[in-house]
Amino acid sequence: MTKQHILLGVSGGIAAFKSASLASLMVKGGYEVQVLMTEHATRFITPLTFQSLTKRAVVVDTFLEPNPAQIAHIQLADDALAYVIAPATANVVAKLAHGFADDMVTTTALAATCPLLIAPAMNVHMLAHPAVAANLRMLEERGAIVLQPAEGLLACGYTGKGRLPEPEDIFAVLQAVLARRQDLLGLKVLVTAGPTIEEIDPVRYITNASTGKMGYAIAAAAAARGAEVVLVSGPVTLAPPEGVKLRAVRSTEDMFVEVEKHFSTADVFVAAAAPADFRPKERLAGKWKKELGTPSIEWVRTPDVLKSMGERRTSHNQTLVGFAAETEDVLANGRRKLTSKHLDLLVVNDIQEEGSGFAVDTNHVTLLKANGDIKDFATMPKTAVADALWDEILAWRHRTR
């Protein structure tokens, strides 16, 4: 199997015949296309139709392993640029939402980390059913791109919402998704992530609850979309994202020094780290013994990395993005930080809200812009938040140029 193909999953609905046109558009667009079908789909349209259009054998049976050196669904998923499931029946939507993997279409979907586009098509009442609506919402919240079904005369005789969008429209969304993947090409991006550690003595230190997940997702998304990324990270347990230059640091001072090295050449600086704001004035050379009583520690301020960079931005082409984890007066505090740190954009989140903040995989953020605009996002996985933020950062750069 050659690398970098589009996966087209076809499930068993009458709209399956339209997927042949979609496959044909993909092939004409220059893409390698690998079709996966459910057993039910083969009742509506034959695999031979797709095979003839794509010049590749269609995969239906999960247990058919033509190459003993590979596991088909994993290989197919790993090499995919995008996975389009069209039509997606109510049954397949439910299986995707709940992680079922009992056929090739759904099993491969679980293994795929590429963008997932789902084009549901079904009867108008089925589409409106709370179970189907909830499943589609769940998929969207996990980052899948759900194409809205079109309105019109349905095969069941009803007129209403439920038609598979035209193949040209599905293909246009696919192309937009694929184009987005390289829209940061040529951009130099600097990201900070994670907590920092300030040592009290050789065994004791203070730190905070940051896990680095948001910053790592931002760095990973930027690299995946073509940017040159330097990630200055405090101590975390995450693996460095692919294609990112990692600079591991420990204290806020270390972070400052490392950021300073890369800031002047960065087009975008995203400060997602939670650096410690205070450190003990003196680090004790030996371990403080209990017999000596409670140590009285004098605290001093650490440098504000982001604010310092805001004060020394080299050109208006530099975009500075900060984060603010707040527990009260979220927007007012955020607005103050945006101004005092000389930022273009500030991402605020209420860390006491469920599904937001440290150590969780989702985040609910609000974006404050220097021109006074505010944009609130839905609670999404941090990976989806990262992509949405890059969309906003790009839009901001284009607007202010």
CA distances from 262 to 72, 205, 265, 266, 365 (A): 43, 27, 6, 6, 27
Give the integer Cα–Cα distance in Å for 190 and 399: 21
319 strand-pairing partners: 268
Q: Smallest gap, in angstroms, from Cβ of residue 232 to ligand CTP?
A: 10
383 binds ligand CTP (CB under 6 A): no
For residues 329 to 368, the per-residue mask of contacts with ligand CTP, x marking binding by CB under 6 A and - elsewhere, is: --------x-------------------------------
Give the integer Cα–Cα distance in Å for 91 and 10: 12
Name which of 162 and 275 has its Cβ closer to ligand CTP: 275
Q: Which segment (6-14, 62-70, 105-113, 304-312) binds ligand CTP by CB under 6 A? A: 304-312
CA distances from 388 to 107, 143, 218, 255, 363 (A): 27, 10, 10, 26, 12
- Exactly one of 19, 91, 210, 302 binds ligand CTP (CB under 6 A); that residue is 302
Q: Smallest gap, in angstroms, from Cβ of residue 199 to ligand CTP?
A: 16
Parallel, antiparallel or unpaired: strands 380-381 and 362-363: antiparallel
Please give the backbone phi and psi of residue 53, each rounded to the nearest 5 degrees, phi first.
-75, -35
- 114 in active site: no
304 binds ligand CTP (CB under 6 A): yes
Q: Smallest gap, in angstroms, from Cβ of residue 277 to ligand CTP?
A: 5
305 binds ligand CTP (CB under 6 A): yes
Binders in 254-283 for ligand CTP, by CB under 6 A: 271, 273-275, 277
Q: Is the CB of residue 258 less than 8 Å from the CB of residue 179?
A: no
Catalytic residue among 74, 131, 134, 156: 156
36 strand-pairing partners: 9, 59
Query: How many residues in total does the chain contain?
Result: 401
Name which of 13 and 234 has its Cβ closer to ligand CTP: 234
Q: How many residues bind ligand CTP (CB under 6 A)?
A: 16
Q: Smallest gap, in angstroms, from Cβ of residue 191 to ligand CTP?
A: 10
**CA nearest to 21, candidates 62, 60, 53, 57:** 53
Q: Which segment (137-145, 242-250, 284-292, 301-309) binds ligand CTP by CB under 6 A? A: 301-309
CA distances from 182 to 175, 187, 265 (A): 12, 10, 20
Q: Smallest gap, in angstroms, from Cβ of residue 274 to ligand CTP?
A: 6
Listed in sequence order, the DSSP H helices in 142-182 are: 167-180
Q: Give the SS3 label for residue 238.
A: coil
Burial pattern 15-37, b for ≥16 Cβ within 10 A else e, equals bbebbbebbbbbbeeebbbbbbb
Q: Report helix angle 104-111 to 90-98, nearest 10.
A: 40
Q: Which segment (63-71, 129-137, 297-305, 311-319) binds ligand CTP by CB under 6 A? A: 297-305
252 binds ligand CTP (CB under 6 A): yes
Name which of 89 and 319 has its Cβ closer to ligand CTP: 319
- Exactly one of 31, 50, 323, 390 binds ligand CTP (CB under 6 A); that residue is 323
Q: Smallest gap, in angstroms, from Cβ of residue 21 to ligand CTP?
A: 48
Q: Which segment (139-147, 220-228, 240-248, 298-306) binds ligand CTP by CB under 6 A? A: 298-306
The catalytic site residues sit at 156
Site for ligand CTP, rule CB under 6 A: 192, 252, 271, 273-275, 277, 302, 304-306, 322-325, 337
